[in-house]
Structure 1
């Protein structure tokens, strides 16, 4: 696995990128896709060969997801774009929040039906203007509102539960997904003291139905059972851990994106690898990456 080779307690630094705000890791076709939101970068890293490609987006980019027709969809501050890795182009498809110029898109997932779920947030991280959206054959619709920093969503293995984080509040929520894609029975799945444990960032669900949550300012990734009990904690050598994706040649390697954003010069000196990508053995497979079937109501395939 080693590319840069530093190992700490089973956690290995596999790619040095120094991301200001690394996010959105996605395991797809034997490669790890992720973004650096603040530096407007899309990255693709192939662990088996060490190949690393980078593209520059025209605005802050929160995530990329695969499309049913083989292309890629990118969530930018300016809306949804088709992204073509072959020539690096971004083609605008849909404005998500025309009346909220201070918001940006932040984190996403795709369910087995090809529906895209994604969040927005206040770029200044203070106004409760963030929403979570569902994009399907009926268009793009908000399903959760009133959050400053949204993270997730993540979908359970049976497709019946959506998890999302209210990061500043320190809460991870679970919602029942109705057959029509609306949400019901919102409840707190888990909660932490952000002052001592860090802020819950990107969640994912593994093949066993357990929820992994990365913690910004918490130096770790935690795994929760389906009933919300913490069952494991993986410590990293950097404080700002944003999200993991599980994949790799063995299908059980967790790749963690991290961030240097918000670190003082003194803290940065203590964690010189902040913003790099790390890997560890998750001990379990992840869920497969699903492809987006619709954009703003238009069928892709």
Structure 2
């Protein structure tokens, strides 16, 4: 697979790529930025955000929901404004929101984590028309979630535990039967994405690439990238056959940056199997 750096912007902690409205949107958590890349004309735009944008999710009514440090906010790209929608995890002021996903039913799933990555105060959450619900506690760093093509299995990542869990999902969004899906030996599992055949592509923080897992959890492939801290993958393009990948350069020494000058860039590679359609909240 030919991997191309389509935007060498040097993000400190690039994350949360989503394909929406003909462009790839993503965040830089540690630089407080939202970025938009249009592959049709190469246009690149950026917005300054309040502290710690962990993800953005398109809304059916327009604009995005953005997970910021203290909660869910509505973001209007035209004006660049943010409006608090829902406070999250008020009992844990050291937490922030980290990574999210909208399923085919329009429900938002996301994680919280200790901003220092030390205390197990993070949780997996669900947010929809019924409100906010905490679904699974006890994480130091959460990533994902992602969902199978039939919408019956949700995958969630315990990054520091080097573990990907699977849950059964019912029609109402209730979770049950948490179980081990896969463990990661090369680096730490970060953001996942699922393709139309149910293959899970998991970014590897410190692992120099992406691991691919079959629906039964078997490791079936690896895609190498020219930087160590690979944070999340998302399918995009008009046919969803381009895999976009965010990366990071935080905490790299001068020697490491010299070895991997494209760290923090946005990458793209063609894939044979398309991804699932991007979910829209609402």
Q: Same fold (TM over 0.5)?
A: yes
**Structure-2 separation of matches of 1:166 and 1:72:** 26
2:250 paired residue number: 261
- Normalised by the size of structure 2, how large is the TM-score? 0.98
**Structure-2 separation of matches of 1:161 and 1:150:** 17
**Structure-1 separation of matches of 2:175 and 2:208:** 32
Work out the number of aligned pairs and report it: 282
Structure 2, unaligned runs of 5 or more: none
2:149 paired residue number: 157
2:86 paired residue number: 94
Match of 2:28 among 28, 36, 41: 36
**Alpha-carbon deviation of 1:51?**
0.3
Structure 1, unaligned runs of 5 or more: 1-8, 294-301
**Structure-2 separation of matches of 1:249 and 1:110:** 19
RMSD: 1.0
**Structure-2 separation of matches of 1:232 and 1:29:** 30
**Alpha-carbon deviation of 1:178?**
2.2
The range that moved more, 46-55 or 241-250, is 241-250
Q: Which runs of 4+ in 1 moved over 3 A?
A: none
1:199 paired residue number: 188
**Structure-1 separation of matches of 2:238 and 2:135:** 36
**Structure-1 separation of matches of 2:272 and 2:69:** 35
1:222 paired residue number: 211
**Alpha-carbon deviation of 1:113?**
1.1
**Structure-2 separation of matches of 1:282 and 1:174:** 24
**Contact 1:246–1:282 at 8 Å: present in 2 too?**
no
Once the two structures are superposed, the pairs formed by residues 1-301 of structure 1 within 5 Å of their partners are 10-193=2-185, 197-293=186-282
- Normalised by the size of structure 1, how large is the TM-score? 0.92
**Alpha-carbon deviation of 1:30?**
1.2
